[in-house]
């Protein structure tokens, strides 16, 4: 097997990761880093986005600068090839978030019909607020009828018959005008994804710029559509997050308990697993099997979902998912979908660990498939917990190593909770921004990527930003990184600049606020819309930025693009596979500025990235007539 030439110390800064990397090596277990080494160097055509397999006249490798093969068999040049690939990449990401959003919509509908036992509307106020927002008269409607009406309304947003998605109303008028003028107003969530597949079929849209603009429209359909609906309905069904202190890292696993890891993205399955694990009957069964209890911990975004709402500890982020199993202390991984490495099935089989898939659309051969539906979820969750208890009896104590003790982090900062923490309105934050106590706000989001030092770019960037009085909001896998770095409690204020520390202390906030999972990036969009409206400006005028320092997924590309198309400059720690086209790369790095008032910055070095972001924030502050 090819070896990663980096030392374990270079791969990850964390004690828990390093200990498990050593253990994996000792036990002969390959990880994502080993497989990356085997795949390196990557195919240079693919790396640049210059391969095409969209028809069987090909596949083609396009070499724009070469003596030969400047065009694919159909005549597509490098720019078109890169644009078509990137368009489909973004559409896949937007489709993933949005299909997840649709699952929440189906759950809400089933709850309204009484056909989803165990699920309920937990936040009736939010349900009523959303109904009012989209124009559903709630007078005389009970919660079930409101849920039914709201579900029907949002289903329409997925279709093809609207001219604009309903929650676009949360964006400032100026922004909506820009979208209209550039024909990037998303009409239907599914429609934009499907249209991207259509446009990129051989012989449809052959203009790379036009494809990129449609990519922006598709991404906007995710951010202000599929993801936003997913977030809002998750709050309605499972409760709007409120501040709480929780624990994170592999130390949250318990040697004496049945450990179940929930992994994936949707709260629909993980909430049920949690409910079953907390059932006294299950606890009794666990005790009978010799365990002290049933301990549920989260991975990745589903972990963020149950962390935000239920205080469930977070075992780790993307690059920790394999290593969590290497502890030998995990009885079960329950996965729904997205970002679940197929390798987990193989690694689970090296231990007593059971890998359970739950979604009809995400099957993992070699694992145990317990198909969850809205009707059977409560029973299936109990079945899963019973299987985990059974697995506990087969645990090999000699192979268990739970490294480190957990760190604490504060969570639960939904927009509602932030406003409540500020005393009922966003005014104190705006005032702090105006006088420069808080210079700006940056969303740091997204994944890990084994090509980069684990969590290194994420935490390096966050530390630089808070030092420069920039408030950071985080979602997804970035959360665990910030928590481990100690930035998500008020103790983290020691690392913040004087102004930010003063502001945060006044409202008892940490310098890095946890706003949720990847779909919850929509909370950041909504917050930006709110702040811009309060100031009477466009989102592009705000001293804000976004960053996905260690991103890897198609979804992250969609997030980055909807941020840019919403007017938010976005930093990426590594580029998407577009460098084979100067045209597309130029558009991403500069051209979009002229269209949407924001573009991408690619920079792997966290300090340099912070400089670029800080410069941007200064420029926006000066343009608003504020100090720098």
| Interface with ligand SF4 (CB under 6 A) | 52-55, 57-60, 72-74, 76, 202
> Out of ligand CUV, ligand SF4, none, which partner does residue 73 contact, by CB within 5 to 8 A per kind?
ligand SF4
Quote the tokens at residue 568: 């938010």
Closest CA to 51 of 62, 43, 42: 62
Q: Based on the shown chain and the rule CB under 6 A, indicate whether residue 324 belongs to the binding site for ligand CUV.
A: no
Smaller CB distance to ligand CUV: residue 461 or 556? 556
Query: Which of 555, 616, 620, 621 lies at the binding interface for ligand CUV (CB under 6 A)?
Result: 555
Name the nearest CA neighbour of 158 among 240, 231, 101. Answer: 101
Under the criterion CB under 6 A, does residue 100 sit at the interface with ligand CUV? no
Name which of ligand SF4, ligand CUV, none residue 385 binds, using a CB cut-off of 5 to 8 Å depending on partner kind.
none
Assess 24 for contact with ligand CUV (CB under 6 A): no
Return the range that interacts with ligand CUV (CB under 6 A); candidates 12-20, 234-242, 398-406, 549-557. Answer: 549-557
- Residue 513: which of 488, 533, 495 has the closest Cα? 488
Q: How far is the CB of 217 from ligand SF4 (least distance, A)?
A: 22
Nearer to ligand SF4, 76 or 466 (CB): 76
* Run of H or E including 572: strand 570-572
Tokens of 591: 């051209």
Contact track, ligand CUV, 498-537, x by CB under 6 A? -------------------xx-------------------
556 makes contact with ligand CUV (CB under 6 A): yes
Distance CA 59, CA 304 (A): 40
191 makes contact with ligand CUV (CB under 6 A): no
List the strands of the sheet with 600-602, edge to edge.
512-516, 470-475, 440-444, 544-548, 570-572, 600-602
**How far apart, in whole angstroms, are the C-alpha atoms of residue 628 and residue 621?**
6
Two tokens, residue 137: 């008269």
Which residue in 477, 481, 515, 557 binds ligand CUV (CB under 6 A)? 477
Contact 446, 474 (CB under 8 A): no
For the chain, give me the number of helices (H) and strands (E)? 27, 16
From the list ligand CUV, ligand SF4, none, which binds 461 (C-beta under 5 to 8 Å, kind-based)? none
Q: In which residue are the tokens 């498990």 written?
A: 20
Does residue 463 belong to the site contacting ligand CUV (CB under 6 A)? no
Nearest-angstrom CA–CA distance, 543 and 286:
52
Minimum Å gap between C-beta 323 and ligand CUV is: 14
Is the separation of the CB atoms in 62 and 81 below 8 Å? yes
Residue 556 interacting entry, from ligand CUV, ligand SF4, none, C-beta within 5 to 8 Å by type: ligand CUV
Q: Which is nearer to ligand SF4, 54 or 285 (CB)?
A: 54
57 binds, among ligand SF4, ligand CUV, none (CB under 5 to 8 A by kind): ligand SF4
Q: Pick from 245, 255, 248: which is nearest to 405 by CA?
A: 248
**Residue 265 touches which of ligand SF4, ligand CUV, none (Cβ within 5-8 Å per kind):** ligand CUV
State in angstroms the smallest separation of the CB of 49 from ligand SF4. 12
Q: Is 20 in the site for ligand CUV (CB under 6 A)?
A: no
Identify the burial level of 232 via C-beta atoms within 10 angstroms of its C-beta, where 0-12 means exposed, 13-18 middle and 19 or more buried: buried
Q: Alpha carbon of 513 to those of 233, 327, 414: distances in Å?
A: 21, 29, 9
What tokens appear for 87 in the block?
A: 């368009």
What minimum distance in Å lies between the beta carbon of 187 and ligand CUV?
Answer: 25
Q: Which is nearer to ligand SF4, 62 or 477 (CB)?
A: 62
Which of these ranges, 149-157, 482-490, 552-560, 579-587, lies near ligand CUV under the rule CB under 6 A?
552-560
For residues 81 and 231, which CB has a smaller minimum distance to ligand SF4 in the complex?
81
Q: Does 339 bind ligand CUV (CB under 6 A)?
A: yes
Least separation in angstroms between CB 211 and ligand CUV? 23
CB of 423 to ligand CUV, least distance (A): 31
**How many chain residues interact with ligand CUV (CB under 6 A)?**
15
The 10 Å Cβ neighbour count of residue 400 is 14
Nearer to ligand CUV, 97 or 354 (CB): 97
Give the strand order in the sheet containing 258-263: 368-369, 354-357, 332-335, 258-263, 294-299, 314-316, 244-248, 407-411
Nearest distance in Å: CB 389, ligand CUV: 27
How far is it, in rounded angstroms, from Cα 255 to Cα 141?
Answer: 50
Name which position in 18, 265, 309, 621 contacts ligand CUV (CB under 6 A).
265
List of E strands, 310-444: 314-316, 332-335, 354-357, 368-369, 407-411, 440-444
Residue 436 interacts with which of ligand CUV, ligand SF4, none, CB < 5 to 8 Å by class: none
Cα angle vertex 164, ends 162, 165, to 5°? 90
Q: Which does 59 bind (CB under 5 to 8 A by kind): ligand SF4, ligand CUV, none?
A: ligand SF4
Smallest gap from Cβ 32 to ligand CUV, in A, equals 11
Looking at the DSSP bridge assignments, the partners of residue 244 are 411
- Residue 553 interaction partner, one of ligand SF4, ligand CUV, none, beta carbon < 5-8 Å per kind: ligand CUV
Q: Does the footprint of ligand CUV cover residue 300 (CB under 6 A)? A: yes
329: CB partners within 8 A, 6+ apart: 253, 254, 255, 259, 395, 400, 401, 402
Residues of the shown chain interacting with ligand CUV in the complex, contacts defined by CB under 6 A: 265, 300-301, 317-318, 339, 446-447, 476-477, 517-518, 553, 555-556
């Amino acid at each position: 097997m090819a070896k990663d030439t980096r030392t374990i110390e270079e791969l990850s800064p964390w004690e828990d990761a390093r200990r498990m990397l050593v253990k994996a090596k000792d036990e002969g277990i390959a990880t994502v880093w080993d497989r990356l080494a085997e795949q390196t160097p990557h195919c240079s055509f693919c790396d640049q986005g210059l391969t095409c397999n969209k028809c069987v006249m090909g596949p083609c490798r396009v070499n724009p600068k070469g003596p030969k093969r400047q065009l694919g068999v159909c005549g597509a040049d490098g720019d078109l090839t890169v644009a078509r690939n990137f368009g489909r990449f973004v559409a896949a990401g937007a489709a993933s978030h949005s299909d997840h959003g649709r699952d929440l919509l189906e759950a809400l509908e089933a709850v309204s019909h009484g056909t989803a036992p165990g699920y309920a509307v937990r936040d009736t106020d939010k349900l009523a607020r959303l109904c009012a927002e989209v124009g559903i008269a709630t007078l005389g409607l009970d919660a079930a009828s409101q849920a039914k009406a709201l579900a029907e309304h949002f289903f329409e947003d997925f279709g093809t018959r609207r001219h604009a998605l309903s929650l676009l109303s949360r964006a400032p008028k100026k922004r909506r005008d820009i979208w209209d003028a550039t024909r990037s107003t998303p009409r239907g969530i599914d429609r934009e994804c499907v249209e991207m597949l259509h446009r990129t079929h051989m012989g449809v849209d052959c203009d790379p710029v036009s494809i990129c603009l449609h990519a922006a429209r598709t991404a906007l359909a995710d951010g202000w559509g599929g993801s936003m609906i997913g977030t809002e309905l998750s709050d309605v069904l499972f409760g709007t997050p409120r501040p709480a202190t929780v624990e994170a890292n592999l130390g949250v696993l318990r040697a004496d308990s049945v450990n179940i890891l929930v992994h994936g993205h949707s709260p629909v399955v993980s909430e049920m697993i949690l409910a079953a694990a907390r059932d006294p009957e299950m606890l009794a069964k666990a005790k009978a099997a010799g365990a002290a209890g049933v301990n549920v911990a989260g991975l990745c975004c589903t972990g963020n979902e149950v962390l935000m709402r239920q205080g469930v500890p977070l075992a780790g982020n993307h690059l920790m998912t394999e290593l969590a199993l290497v502890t030998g202390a995990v009885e079960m991984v329950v996965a729904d979908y997205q970002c679940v490495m197929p390798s987990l099935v193989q690694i689970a089989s090296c231990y007593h660990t059971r890998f359970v898939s739950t979604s009809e659309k995400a099957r993992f051969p070699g694992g145990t498939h317990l198909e969850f539906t809205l009707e059977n979820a409560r029973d299936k969750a109990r079945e899963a917990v019973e299987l985990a208890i059974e697995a506990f009896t087969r645990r090999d104590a000699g192979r268990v190593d739970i490294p480190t003790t957990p760190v604490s982090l504060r969570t639960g900062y939904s927009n509602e909770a932030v406003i409540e923490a500020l005393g009922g309105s966003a005014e104190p934050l705006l005032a702090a921004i105006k006088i420069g106590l808080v210079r700006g706000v940056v969303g740091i989001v997204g994944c890990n990527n084994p090509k980069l030092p684990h969590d290194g770019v994420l935490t390096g960037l966050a530390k630089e930003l808070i030092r420069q009085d920039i408030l950071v909001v985080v979602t997804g896998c970035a959360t665990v990184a910030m928590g481990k770095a100690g930035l998500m409690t008020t103790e983290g204020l020691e690392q913040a600049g004087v102004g930010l520390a003063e502001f945060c202390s006044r409202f008892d906030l940490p310098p890095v606020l946890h706003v949720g999972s990847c779909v919850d990036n929509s909370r950041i969009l909504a917050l930006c819309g709110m702040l811009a409206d309060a100031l009477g400006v466009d989102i592009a005028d705000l001293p804000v930025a976004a960053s996905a320092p260690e991103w890897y997924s198609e979804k992250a590309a969609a997030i980055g693009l909807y941020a840019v198309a919403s007017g938010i400059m976005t930093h990426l720690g590594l580029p998407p596979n577009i460098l084979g086209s100067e045209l597309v790369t130029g558009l991403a790095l500069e051209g979009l500025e002229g269209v949407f008032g924001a573009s991408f910055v690619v920079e792997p070095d966290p300090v340099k990235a912070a400089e670029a972001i800080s410069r941007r924030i200064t420029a926006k502050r000066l343009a608003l007539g504020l100090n720098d």
